[in-house]
Chain A
Amino acid sequence: MVLGYLIGRRIKTGSDFFLAGRQLPWWAVGMSLVATDIGGTDIIGVGGAAYKHGLAVANFEWIGCIPAMIIGAFFFVPFLYRTGIYTIPEYLERRYNLSVRTIMATCWLVFMACNIGIMLLASAKMMQSLFGWEMWFSILLMATLVGFYTSFGGLAAVVYTDVLQCVILIGGCLLLVVFGLWQLGGIGEFRTKLQNRFQAEQMEDVTANALGSESSEVNRQSTSSNKKPDPHLELILPVDTPTPFPWPGILMGLALILSPAYWIGNQAIIQRSLGSKSEFEAKASYVWGALLKNVIPIVIAVPGLIAIALFPDIQDGDQAIPTLVTRILPSGVRGIFFAAFLAAMMSSVDSYLNSAATIVSYDFIQRFSRAPLSESRILNLGRITTIAGVTWGVGFAFLLTLLKEGSGIYAIFQTLMAFFQGPALAILLTGMLWRKAHGRAAVVALVLGIITSISLYALNQPAIYSSLGWKPLFQIQEPFLYFSIWSFLVSLTTLVALSVTLKSADTSKSELVIWNTARKVNHIQ
């Protein structure tokens, strides 16, 4: 809060608030990228997913981040930096038209608004488990802390607090790993206990099959993996895995679609690299972030595996990490982990708040105002929309507390992203790489892609497919990776087919295609 206050006193313009006056160093931006990506939802959700499904969830931090970050660093981030934009929807209007900008800005705003609520709820759950605090109190406390420094200090406060939070986050989570392994008696004992647990699960499945269990589908799938190594420690899982992480989903849905969509097209991520001091520093921030990403699964996924070995009977995966923290950490160290969790939560909420405010200010209010707004008005607008965003987040978090437990925080987050990330990547990449991509075709492609993913999600809900008399469309749990593949393909096909048909004659926009303008786009306004 002090840092936010000190930085906030030096902010004079909208550019200072939203892009930190383009003065951020690469090391700060890189650590901020990682801290933003690892939120409270990840500590609880990734740990919980590792507890339920094993190490395969680490794919989200490894192949689901690093290749896309490196490609982004050298090809897309420098290009977007040179265009001088504030938001990704702004680029989409320049490249396509206002409709594409407005649809994408709306999607991002809805996603960020929901995400802020989800993150506040995750922090409240953790604090309830650790200290027995009431959920409403935790939600309000977090919202007040983050809302203060984000509304006061803007992107610079967000990035510099993220640096501190990144250090605390990695250090605190590492303590959980160290104490967990110490409790287990070392890495060898850890592996043995995991193997024993796997064999016990197999025996339970065999017994259930012999008794003619009702859940024959899942059991058959589990038994079919009898001769395979312990899936708790496997990164690449077969097509028929009952988990949400079969390898085609990870490779095509995550590595090739969701990950580039996140690292190249996510406003909260791109915005901090646009605030870098120079194009080179923007590239360096992504490379530094990619290096840091290599260690993240060790500190956030491995605790979930340790929980399997120590406490194999937890029913709700989201309770795995809180259980581990309360049962194995001494009280002083528990405080450090709690600080790490708070750091993770704050670093993500502040980023989404700042980016949501940027979208509201630039893509809606300024874009549709009759006269251009002065810099001081944009600054005030940014602060007001930040406060409005945090207020909304509190309301949404309270709403979520009324929902059923056990749906999985990580799955909620990923499903929300999968709704529009595939179509968004299709139009963004095609627009950057193909001169003939047409504005009207992009609108149709974007809408069709989003309808596809929402339809697939709806048709996979038991209430809907049962009422239609259908079988479920997907045979894995939480198939959000497959939603993104199909919606991406629908959008891409539609965009290419319609663009060829419409024969775009608008050559003025070809300067916003990456190949044509590698060095020419200098801050087009």
Chain B
Amino acid sequence: MYETPLHHFGNFVRSLLQNIPLEAARYLFLFVIVAVLILVLRLPTSETTPDRPGPSRWDENLKVWAALALLIQLAVYWFI
């Protein structure tokens, strides 16, 4: 049983990743969710409400529900 350059490269990447503590990995997961949340909150209202004349109700703004879905995810990855 011998190792090829592919094995050595894989072991190198693996040892790099092993140096990252699990708690830091958790923050990476949270970072992904927060990044998407910020992106959603920064969208112009015209992109998140029905395309019709006149004002929309607050619950017709998709930003609200998308943010709720992401906030639940933040809670899940923070507490579990």
Roughly how many angstroms separate A255 CA and B50 CA in the complex, as a whole number?
29
Inside 8 A of B66's CB, which chain A residues have their CB? Answer: 70, 73-74, 287, 290
Q: Identify the stretch in A149-157, A193-201, A232-240, A358-366 within 8 Å (CB) of chain B at 4 or more residues.
A: A232-240
Contacts A236-B25, A238-B22, A278-B51 given; does A67 touch B10 at CB 8 Å: no
Inside 8 A of B80's CB, which chain A residues have their CB? Answer: 55, 233-235
Q: Is A97 an interface residue (CB 8 A)?
A: no
Roughly how many angstroms separate A398 CA and B7 CA in the complex, as a whole number?
38
Asked whether B51 lies within 8 Å of A248 as measured between CB atoms, the reply is no
Asked whether A284 lies within 8 Å of B68 as measured between CB atoms, the reply is no
Roughly how many angstroms separate A55 CA and B70 CA in the complex, as a whole number?
19
Chain A contact-residue range equals 35 or more
Nearest A residue to B15, CB-CB: A239
Asked whether B73 lies within 8 Å of A63 as measured between CB atoms, the reply is yes
Roughly how many angstroms separate A73 CA and B66 CA in the complex, as a whole number?
9
Partner of A287, one of B3, B14, B69: B69
Contacts A62-B76, A70-B66, A291-B69 given; does A471 touch B3 at CB 8 Å: yes
- Distance of B61 from chain A, by nearest CB (Å): 10
- Distance of A260 from chain B, by nearest CB (Å): 11
Contacts A55-B80, A470-B4, A474-B10 given; does A293 touch B69 at CB 8 Å: yes
Chain B contact-residue range equals 35 or more
Secondary structure of the A contact surface, majority rule? helix
Inside 8 A of B73's CB, which chain A residues have their CB? Answer: 62-63, 66-67, 294
Asked whether A280 lies within 8 Å of B50 as measured between CB atoms, the reply is yes
Give the most central of A70, A278, A280: most B CB within 10 Å: A70
Partner of A239, one of B17, B33, B77: B17
| Segment 19-73 of B: residues with Cβ below 8 Å from A | 20, 22, 25-26, 28-29, 32-33, 36, 39-40, 43, 47-51, 62, 65-66, 68-70, 72-73
- Distance of B20 from chain A, by nearest CB (Å): 8
Q: Is A279 an interface residue (CB 8 A)?
A: yes
Roughly how many angstroms separate A240 CA and B14 CA in the complex, as a whole number?
9
Contacts A67-B33, A287-B62 given; does A240 touch B18 at CB 8 Å: yes
Q: Is A85 an interface residue (CB 8 A)?
A: no
- Distance of A238 from chain B, by nearest CB (Å): 6
Q: Is A251 an interface residue (CB 8 A)?
A: yes
Nearest A residue to B7, CB-CB: A471
Q: Is A392 an interface residue (CB 8 A)?
A: no
Nearest B residue to A482, CB-CB: B10
Partner of A74, one of B26, B43, B51: B43
A residues within 8 Å of B by Cβ?
55, 62-63, 66-67, 69-71, 73-74, 233-236, 238-240, 247-248, 251, 255-256, 278-280, 283-284, 287-288, 290-291, 293-294, 459, 469-471, 473-475
- List 15 A-B residue pairs with CB atoms under 8 Å apart, sorted by A's residue number: A62-B76, A67-B32, A67-B70, A70-B40, A73-B66, A235-B76, A236-B22, A236-B26, A236-B77, A239-B17, A255-B32, A287-B65, A291-B69, A294-B69, A471-B2
Known: A240-B18, A287-B62. 18 other contacts (CB 8 A): A63-B29, A63-B77, A67-B33, A69-B69, A73-B62, A234-B80, A278-B51, A284-B62, A288-B65, A290-B66, A459-B6, A469-B2, A470-B1, A470-B4, A470-B7, A471-B3, A473-B7, A473-B10
